[in-house]
Chain A
Amino acid sequence: MSLVLRKYVPQTIVSIIIVLTVVFYYFYVSKEIAGTFTTADKALSDWVVIIMSFALIVGGIDILRFHLARIRREGMGQAPFSTVTIALLVLMVVFALHGWYLSYADPAAGIAITTQPQFRWLYLNVYAPADAAVYSILVFYIASASYRAFRVRNPMALLLLITALIVVFGNTTIGGLIWPGFLPLRDWIMTVPNTAAFRPITIGAGLGVIILGLRLLTWREISWMGRRE
């Protein structure tokens, strides 16, 4: 029974969904039949939302488990980071529950979980700036990665450097002042060689997905279920 539940049932569901997807995409399906499946599709989408919500609870428990174990194992060395994480996690749950309570206790106020004042304050004043800061770090990483990548160690690296310089100068106003030809050259690089390199990758990825689908259909791809047997 366990093997049936753990292996055959999920694989059968995946196979059926793959076949149905292909049929609905390539074959003509009457509006009545399509309507029936649209209802089923909506129900499945709702299930996904519900499962994801429960998965988030599992995720929260996992975070709690990890940080509690870390405080116990590594002592005070790691305690400040883990303590702050746990405290904020608990705080967010408390604020969310408060928002949920307010939405029932005082519906006229129009407060929901996400609009609970403290929850919202933390989101706008702690989370959003921190998120933007991490994103902005990317600029410096691009610079440091470019420095390493564009060092001329062989003819190919020299070609890469020349191409990069043309694109960089083509994208800046100073490039146009130095030589007006940078802009059309950049456009040519982006539309011809760049597109020629991107398209085979996109087509190759599509082919890879088709063959992955074949392995899923023939029950040879089982890594997504966790265990091999």
Chain B
Amino acid sequence: MKTARGLLIPVVVIALVAILSGVGWALRIQLYSPKTPFSAFLILVGLLTAGYFFMTEARAGKSVPVRRIPAFEAVEEAVARSVEMGRPVHMTFGFGTISSSMAPQFIAGLGVLSHVARLCGKYGAKLVATLGVPEAIATTEEIIREGYYSAGRPELFDPTYNVRYLTDQQFAYASAVQATLIRENVGANIVVGPFWAESLIFMEAGNMVNAFQIAGTARETQIPFFVLVADYSFIGEEIFAAGALASGDKETLASIRGQDVGKLLTIVLVILGVLTLLAGLKLVDALNWAWKVG
């Protein structure tokens, strides 16, 4: 019964899209963009409805299993280790701004920061967040304040110490983060967000002080550096899942299953593509079909 109720909205959405498309096609109306493949829209609708379905399932009380992300689980170990060593925890989320195409990774970094801040509050660790974007100062302060206050340790919150805006220039920022890691002798170095050439500079500086390192980015050119040098790394889409895991909210967590459905769909499409190619057909031609009438 609960599953049926959870399915209602996805079914209604899919039915609406089908009816709209059918009527549009019958009346020869240019409903969809002629420049964008129609399959892309269908996949988007499918993924959103799948994610929403799992969220409603979780809201109805059904247990939705979510895969483990080792890097996320290691954050607690990193914070606890820093406390044992009497050293602060460092976190940075790059200098990709909220007004650029890097915004999703920036938001993912904020999600991880909120988790780190709560753990720092729980264990009584000092947290240093270094910033390369001035518009994130207020948000970062709020997140760290919330982390310490919710753990009942408001005395640990010191905005001057916890939040350090450095600069928005790439290598000046890299240099300042490097200096902070070494001068503060950090016990844990958590680096999640959009990164460019500065990624390895952060990792090597963390290594110099023997910090426990957790890193993650969705920028594929920087992932190899993180995988090689960090103790744990979030690979690609895992940084987006980390925000949901940090929330601890079952409904938000369940949305990650939507990502997994997308991966499954991708695998199916790849296999189908290979099979159809072997049969002398090109699946990509069908997938590239755009809605053009008249």
A-side residues, CB < 8 A to B, are 22, 25-29, 48, 51-52, 55-56, 58-59, 62-63, 65-66, 69, 127, 130-131, 134-135, 137-138, 141-142, 144-145, 148-149, 198, 200-205, 207-218, 220-221, 223-228
Contact = CB atoms under 8 A, between A and B. Distances in A.
15 contacts: A26-B33, A52-B99, A63-B166, A66-B164, A148-B228, A203-B266, A204-B237, A209-B104, A210-B47, A211-B240, A212-B240, A214-B52, A214-B255, A216-B107, A224-B106
Given A65-B160, A228-B146, A207 B200 contact: no
Nearest to B109: A223
Given A201-B236, A208-B240, A227-B142, A138 B200 contact: yes
Contact of B201 (A22, A52, A137, A204): A137
B55 interface: yes
Contacts of B218: 201, 205, 208
B160 A69 contact: yes
A65 to B, nearest CB: 6
A140 to B, nearest CB: 9
B108 A212 contact: yes
Given A208-B238, A208-B241, 9 more contacts: A59-B137, A63-B167, A138-B201, A200-B266, A207-B262, A210-B48, A214-B255, A215-B244, A218-B52
A27 B165 contact: no
A211 B220 contact: no
Contacts of B244: 215, 220-221
Interface stretch (B71-79, B84-92, B246-254): B246-254
B172 A209 contact: no
Given A204-B237, A212-B104, A221 B252 contact: yes
Contact of B255 (A48, A137, A198, A220): A220
A215 B142 CA distance: 21
B239 interface: yes
B135 A55 contact: yes
The DSSP consensus for interface residues of chain B is helix
Contacts of B99: 48, 52
B182 interface: no
A201 B44 contact: no
B156 interface: no
B238 to A, nearest CB: 8
Interface string B24-52: 00000011111010001100100110011
A141 B204 contact: yes
A65 B134 CA distance: 14
A145 B111 contact: no
A227 B143 CA distance: 6
Contacts of B31: 27-28
Nearest to B261: A207
Given A28-B33, A148-B229, A141 B247 contact: no
A156 B204 CA distance: 22
Contacts of A127: 169, 172
A224 B139 contact: yes
Given A52-B99, A145-B229, A210 B44 contact: yes
Contact of A204 (B139, B165, B236, B258): B236
B266 to A, nearest CB: 5
A59 B228 CA distance: 33
Contacts of B263: 203-204, 207
A148 B225 CA distance: 12
B2 to A, nearest CB: 18
A65 B159 CA distance: 10
A176 B15 CA distance: 60
B223 interface: yes
A17 to B, nearest CB: 11
Contacts of B255: 211, 214-215, 220
Interface string B90-103: 00000001110000
Nearest to B169: A131
B236 to A, nearest CB: 4
B174 interface: yes
Most buried by A among B168, B174, B201, B220: B220
The 8 closest A-B pairs by CB, nearest first: A226-B142, A208-B240, A59-B134, A208-B237, A207-B262, A204-B237, A205-B218, A55-B134
Interface string B1-38: 00000000000000000000000000000111110100
